[in-house]
Chains A and B, each alone.
Chain A
């Protein structure tokens, strides 16, 4: 137990991502309003909520696409390094803080092969090793070794998402479900500490959703990566999440394990509307007896 980061106590007590009082305004519209939550290593944290609840805006803040109006986001690597995400531009968040993300719509490099998509994800170490392509062109061993490792990593993830036999296909020609899995494999090839997935199960059939759940569970358990997930497919969310954060109109309305969240009245109200008959505005309520009387007289 010399390596502290591997001990379970550290893993459970120090959150990977701490979001505090995050607010994002677009002019008069408050898309995310004073949201605080934590996400842990080796856990799947799901962010759910009705349409327009601010989930994707929250993601865009975390990955540096937007800089939040107010708030603080701290990412703590297992080795203890800390990053204040609200102060970093997007490309540094992916490169230095090792946060990978996917988008709601598929954004693969459609014209490139499946394997190449995964190689682009390892561009940084490859371009360094290749000395801006010079060592690569000459085929120096310093480069070929790194390249071999990269191909191995790519193959490992292709095998994991069951796309190994499609390695030479053009990515844009893969079936939809396979493209979704390839996006996750590509994100994992950047070797992130936190993986942010924006609706990975959108458009998948139940079988493909189950496959996805299996892949995400594997990433959590075998790679100790923190997974942050926006998802509408409740069967996926409820089976694999360790922790669910519910947003509605930009506010956090519930936070806890799936069982707790499922039974939280605030969540049920947000999803299904008021359970009891809603209270009527006073002027209409005052009119009601009269209306009833008139109806009686008429009858």
Chain B
């Protein structure tokens, strides 16, 4: 039982991270109907910015942990958002009216470019970070121990999700975003600046991915230029599993993938965990292509 609980919490925190990245995939798909394959790289850049910020703060002598974490979070979200905006502006917007394959290829190119860019600037070796947020919360007489950093991941993700849902459902910006998702031409005719809304979608997705990147840095304490690929593909699996285009679906898909990985590693050994995840992707694509919460695609006439 305690082992089960331990894996459950590990799975939830991992799932929160996948969910945060998956939202970027699903939002972009919802609004322009393309898979942004460079999104995993955006997440990787988020992790790097957080690391660089921490080292910069250390050299400035700021070592008070809560402040350092806040600054890391803010810097990482801000810089990564700028990357997200730039990627959209130079790689996707010029191809807005091209056939669907063109922006897809452009996305893959962007992904390779960003990987190599970070590799050249930061080197190919993995970067370690000493544990910043240490300590564990022990429950059930020490049988289950949860590190604070995993708890923080879950709490921050829930808070972000709540704020984000409010943004989408309550604000003017969210309303315009949902309108663009349904009919960009009509939204434009009604005075919505569609290009700006699309840019903001990329910015928001990138900011959420940056949070995920920073959390991974804090949990595992090591990053390299290649982490974006696997995390990106898994988050994409999460988005498809939840139903691509659906925000709650992305979060749910992330949690399910995280749990599957944690339990598979816990009970079956960690060698085959990726196989388990991608088997899910294949099964979903065969048997339920609309995902858990997705709506069936209605052919527009």
- A interface residues with partner B (beta carbon < 8 Å): 63, 90-91, 94-95, 100-101, 103, 105, 107, 109-112, 116, 119-124, 126-127, 130, 132-133, 136-137, 186, 190
Contacts and interface: CB of A to CB of B under 8 A. Distances in A.
Interface string B246-267: 0000000000000000000000
A299 to B, nearest CB: 58
B176 A109 contact: no
B172 A126 contact: yes
B128 interface: no
B165 interface: no
A124 B191 contact: yes
A90 B182 contact: no
A107 B300 CA distance: 10
Contact of B183 (A109, A116, A122): A109
B121 interface: no
A123 B173 CA distance: 9
Contact of A123 (B172, B182, B301): B172
Contacts of A190: 190-191
Contacts of A63: 189
B171 A112 contact: no
Contacts of B188: 90-91, 94
A123 B176 contact: yes
Nearest to A132: B173
Contacts of A186: 190
Chain B interface, >50% SS class = helix
A64 B230 CA distance: 45
B192 interface: yes
24 contacts: A107-B183, A109-B178, A109-B183, A109-B186, A111-B182, A112-B178, A112-B179, A112-B182, A120-B176, A121-B191, A122-B191, A123-B191, A124-B192, A126-B172, A127-B173, A132-B173, A133-B167, A133-B172, A133-B174, A136-B172, A136-B173, A137-B166, A137-B167, A190-B190
B189 A133 contact: no
B129 interface: no
Interface of B: 166-167, 170-176, 178-179, 182-183, 185-194, 301
A67 to B, nearest CB: 15
A95 B187 CA distance: 11
A66 B96 CA distance: 18
A116 B167 CA distance: 15
A92 to B, nearest CB: 10
Nearest to A109: B182
Contacts of B187: 109, 120, 123
A298 B182 CA distance: 72
B189 to A, nearest CB: 5
B215 to A, nearest CB: 24
B179 A120 contact: yes
B171 A137 contact: yes
B26 to A, nearest CB: 15
B189 A130 contact: no
A100 B190 CA distance: 8
B178 to A, nearest CB: 6
A132 B176 CA distance: 11
